[in-house]
Amino acid sequence: MLRGLGDPVSGDRAVVVGQGYVGLPLAIAVARSGMTVTGVDLAPDRVAQLNDGESPIGDVTSELLSEVRAAGSYHASVDFDAVADAAAVVLCVPTPYHREAPDLSHVEAASRAVGQYLQPGTLVVLESTTYPGTTEEVLQPILEEASGLKAGVDFDLAFSPERIDPGNATFDIHNTPKIVGGTTPEGTARAAEFYRRFVDTVVEVSCPKTAEMAKLLENTFRHINIALVNELAVLSQDLGVNIWEVIDAAASKPFGFMAFHPGPGVGGHCIPVDPMYLSWRVRQFGGAAKFIELARDVNAAMPSYCVSRVQELLNDRSMALKGARILVLGVAYKPDVADLRESPALPIIQRLLEKGADVAYHDPHVPLLELPDTAPLRSVELTDDLLRFSDCLLILTPHRQVDHEHAARTAPLVFDTRHVVPDGAGPQVYRL
């Protein structure tokens, strides 16, 4: 039964739109909190897989999915009609960044579909990361036009940024604080009450723009600091300084310093993309986000820098990159996940292939790798013979189930971009 506007969420039905890395963990958490959840996704194959109890993502086990399916508290669908009976609707759809501008087509389409079934008294929350103003300037008008209802009068509307960190065994949806900001104080309270069903700590802010900006600050902070340490890694190479030792030494200071580490680039669904939303938004007002743009340039240059280092290491051994056998360890964007979104391994492998290298890769989480203008690559078995006969072992993503020390001691040349090979593994090991 739908409750009155402004009351705590008392209905027992919810809809989560988008059943990917963000939406599926959320839907399962809501289902386990006592509500009946419909997970809406436009991919029929994924919906069928979910209804068969097979999870497509690592953070939700098939056992857990089967548990809520068997209890009758979760169902996947390609249709939006469940919105008509929902107490709460949460949008977790992609917000990619294309051609130097945000692509909100998924948010807009989902908003129109939800609006067609939206009923008075429903709480609608957007979780998709975007620029400040999206909830009130894009989502709200579409919902109101499609439904004939008024936000803050007939239904409540809020923004709550997703904070999913795939593969994180310490922080999950339950113990990661949730920020909520509604278009009205009542909307904020309703959203907070909804999330308190399954989240330990909820942080209420004054409006959706504040919540939207908070998410961008989180990842812009990381984006800029990673760029700083990446630039220092390049400079340290020229200066003959071990940047990893420098970072460890600086981290001994108990205040005023936070350690970031260099790498072959930045990947994932947040750090490479979220700051660009803020930069784009600032440009709409004639401003410039100079730190963000500079950080993007530095981080985007790291794949090319890594290829140039490999080429230099081979040259020092009187070998050309063209025709060299390069074995890549790890292609996912971060350890222990199968997610390839924005992974720096992709442009690195692409550049190596373009320069004529013979590239193979091993990744226990990614069996197949598809790249533009080349035949798909398949993950190879990591054998001692493969390591010994490779001209260079390139470590890009350090999955825990891989014995990197053994691999480094077996290969004739190693370029470790993640500092996972311990000191003393041999003179053939070089670091970023």
The answer to the question of residue 216 being in a domain is no
Question: Does one domain contain both 187 and 231?
Answer: no
The total number of structural domains in the chain stands at 2
Task: At 349, list the tokens.
Answer: 């492998």
Question: Does one domain contain both 311 and 388?
Answer: yes
Question: Residue-wise pLDDT tens for the chain (432 aa)?
Answer: 334 454 544 579 999 999 999 999 999 999 999 999 999 999 999 999 999 999 999 889 999 999 999 999 999 999 999 999 999 999 999 999 887 889 999 999 999 999 999 999 999 999 999 999 999 999 999 999 999 999 999 999 999 999 988 888 899 999 999 999 999 999 999 999 999 999 999 999 999 999 999 999 999 999 999 999 999 999 999 999 999 999 999 999 999 999 999 999 999 878 888 889 889 899 888 898 899 999 999 999 999 999 999 999 999 999 999 999 999 999 999 999 999 999 999 999 999 999 999 999 999 999 999 998 889 999 999 999 999 999 999 999 999 999 999 999 999 999 999 999 998 888 899 999
User: Is 207 one of the annotated active-site residues of the chain?
Assistant: no
* pTM of this structure: 0.91
Q: Which of 89, 120, 84 is nearest to 7 (CA)?
A: 120
CATH number at residue 115: 3.40.50.720
Tell me how far apart the terminal alpha carbons of the chain are, to the nearest angstrom: 59
Question: Does one domain contain both 33 and 171?
Answer: yes
Question: Does one domain contain both 281 and 383?
Answer: yes
Query: What is the identity of the amino acid at 216?
Result: L
Question: Does one domain contain both 53 and 143?
Answer: yes
Residue in this structure with the two tokens 């080349």, named with its chain if needed: 374
Question: Does one domain contain both 194 and 272?
Answer: no
Question: Does one domain contain both 228 and 368?
Answer: yes
Helices in 83-207 by DSSP H: which ranges? 105-117, 134, 140-147, 185-195
Residue in this structure with the two tokens 């209905």, named with its chain if needed: 11
Domain that holds residue 32: 13-206
Contacts 24+ apart (CB under 8 A), 368-376: 369/331, 369/340, 371/346, 374/350
Question: Does one domain contain both 373 and 265?
Answer: yes
Question: Does one domain contain both 65 and 202?
Answer: yes
**Among residues 92, 207, 270, 306, which one is catalytic?**
270
The answer to the question of residue 232 being in a domain is yes
Task: At 72, list the tokens.
Answer: 């009758």
Distance from C-alpha of 192 to C-alpha of 178, rounded to nearest angstrom = 8
Question: Does one domain contain both 246 and 367?
Answer: yes
Q: What are phi and psi of 190, to 5 degrees?
A: -65, -45
CB 217 within 8 A of CB 224: no
Task: At 49, list the tokens.
Answer: 């897989």
Q: Using the 8-state DSSP alphabet, how is residue 11 labeled?
A: -
Beta strands in 218-370 (DSSP E): 325-329, 358-362, 368-369
- DSSP state string for 85-133: G-SEEEE-----EETTEE--HHHHHHHHHHHHH--TT-EEEE-S---TT
Question: Does one domain contain both 199 and 263?
Answer: no
Question: Does one domain contain both 231 and 279?
Answer: yes
Q: How far is CA 59 from CA 23, 93, 243, 369, in A?
A: 11, 17, 33, 21
Helix, strand, coil: what percent of the chain each, to 5? 40, 15, 45
